[in-house]
Amino acid sequence: MSVGVERTFHQDLGLGLRQLSDIALRALSPAVNDPTTAVQCLDRIVQILAAVVERPLGTVHHRDRRGAVRLAQSVPGWADLVDLGLAEVRGAAVGSPQVTRRILAGIDDLLRLAPEERREPLVRHRTLLVQAVEGAVPAAADRRFALSPDRQGIG
């Protein structure tokens, strides 16, 4: 283990998710308007969440060779990681069907992998996205399209 002055995504899962979320948010900004980049970020966000969906999270204990705890490291819990990866992107994605479709497909994939005790934050984000699209997209056909899961966004 090494200690440094700055966070790195190799040692801090939350930082990697934060960086991907930030890139997706910039891509969805009106000044950039690049939903494809946002979808690529979501691909990685879902990949990271899938990799840890069944892993123990919370406090990690680092032990010496004899097994004595030498460092207790607090890491984000599952709900925190899901929120970090999805909350802001979900909020910015409502006007971009390519992105809403990718978020829904990602959440659906994660729901298939997640044990029962880890489903709630995924269901919450799915519900909030559906409600936001239903409230913001006036045409029924556009709503149906935006709410059709697609791993490629618009494949």
Nearest CA to 104 out of 37, 51, 34, 39 is that of: 39
Residue 40 lies in a domain: yes
Quick one: pLDDT at residue 111?
A: 98
Residue 153 lies in a domain: no
Q: How many other β-carbons are positioned within 10 Å of the β-carbon of residue 123?
A: 12
Residue 152 lies in a domain: no
pTM value? 0.86
Domain count, the chain: 1
Q: Per residue in 74-99, pLDDT tens? A: 778 999 999 999 999 999 999 999 99
Quick one: pLDDT at residue 58?
A: 79
Residue 6 lies in a domain: no
At residue 139, φ and ψ (nearest 5 deg) are -85, 130
Nearest CA to 80 out of 8, 10, 7, 13 is that of: 13
Q: Per residue in 5-31, pLDDT tens? A: 555 544 578 899 999 999 999 999 999
Confidence of residue 4 (pLDDT cuts 50, 70, 90): low
Domain extent at residue 29:
13-146
**Do 27 and 35 contact (CB within 8 A), yes or no?**
yes
Q: Per residue in 132-148, pLDDT tens? A: 999 999 999 999 999 99
